[in-house]
Amino acid sequence: MSSDSRLSRAYTTAKTVPFDDNSKFILFSDCHRGDNSFADEFANNRNIYYHALKHYYLEGFHYFELGDGDELWENLNFESIFEAHKNVYKLLKQFHLENRLHMIWGNHDMVYKDPHYVKKNLSSYFEPIDDKDKELFEGITYNEAIILKHTENNQEIFLTHGHQADWWNYTFWRWGRFLVRVLWKPLQVWGIADPTSPAKNYTELRKIERRLKKWIIAKNLLLTVVGHTHRPRFPEPGQIPLFNDGSCVHPRSITGIEIENGQISLIKWQIASTEDGTLKIIRILLEGPQKLIDYMND
């Protein structure tokens, strides 16, 4: 099956979420939450991520995670990840209880495409203090893709992880997981990068972006937001509307895409120092805000 076919199938089977100009969405991907070991790249940014997540929760945003939220290639199970970042998952639980949590699976958490796996592993957790199971993400569903559809002008925004354009990490993800667990994770401590990862292989990254752009053109310039490559993208109106929210494992920062007031923006959260030497977490606007309707193709 070609990348075009995989993307088209994801589009056809996507969950639809209606929105309007009053909707507030935050899109993150590629958190790669791990077990807080030396290989857990998320651990370096977890305080930044939690602060940003708390901000969006209090401001009434819906949270969309575009795949690779949990690092289930390096780690054998979700339990060890949950224990390492329990405060994050408890906050995500609050989004879920208010129907503001929308999850997409990527290649590193592709096991979530199986609803039975999701129900078994994410519905509840054991709390040692109370010596009993407690509800976590009861009834949660993971999707391959989500379509945001404007209730007035019918504009569509296609959200997916983007590994559909990466034949190795989509079709042979089990082989990729095996290699990461037995080979690249031990070598990571020595600074040796996984060459199969598009985030660390610029040649492969460009190939994936070309395939995504080709599909977007074939779909009449459908506005599309992906992750996977970890490289933020924010095209101008008139360019091929391929957006990328980046990742949450950049050095000392996380990036994401906000949709608010009928506009789209690329943002970054990072730690900055004030003049008196105090460290604080700040939000930086990288691109936008740009009106969504400017990307609408007649």
Question: Mean pLDDT of all residues in the chain?
Answer: 90
- Spatial separation of the C-alpha atoms in residues 7 and 143, rounded to whole Å: 13
Q: Which residues contact 27 (CB under 8 A, 6 or more apart)?
A: 64, 66, 159, 225, 245, 256, 257, 258, 259
pLDDT in tens, 99-149: 999 999 999 999 999 999 999 999 998 877 777 788 999 999 999 999 999
User: Peptide bond before 186: cis, by omega within 30 degrees of 0?
Assistant: no
C-alpha closest to that of 59 among 248, 237, 258: 258
pLDDT at 55 over 70: yes
Burial 261-295 (b: 16+ CB within 10 A, else e): ebebbbbbbbeeeeeeeeeebeeeeebebbebeeb
C-alpha closest to that of 5 among 152, 211, 203: 211
pLDDT in tens, 13-48: 999 999 999 999 999 999 999 999 878 999 999 999
Could you tell me the pLDDT band of residue 179, with boundaries at 50, 70 and 90? confident
- Spatial separation of the C-alpha atoms in residues 266 and 49, rounded to whole Å: 15
Q: Which pLDDT belongs to residue 230?
A: 95
In the DSSP assignment, the letter for residue 180 is: I
Angle between helices 3-12 and 202-218 in degrees, nearest 10: 60
β-strand partners of 148: 17, 157
Q: Which residues contact 80 (CB under 8 A, 6 or more apart)?
A: 35
Could you tell me the pLDDT band of residue 174, with boundaries at 50, 70 and 90? low
Token code pair at residue 248? 């949450």
Q: Which pLDDT belongs to residue 189?
A: 55
pLDDT in tens, 236-271: 999 999 999 999 999 999 999 999 999 999 999 999
pLDDT at 284 over 80: yes
More confident position, 50 or 200: 50
- The domain that holds 150 is classified in CATH as 3.60.21
Supply the range of the domain harboring residue 106.
3-295
Residue 216 phi/psi, 5° resolution? Answer: -60, -40
What's CA 72's distance to the chain center, in Å?
Answer: 14
Domain count, the chain: 1
Q: Which residues contact 169 (CB under 8 A, 6 or more apart)?
A: 107, 163, 176, 196, 198, 228
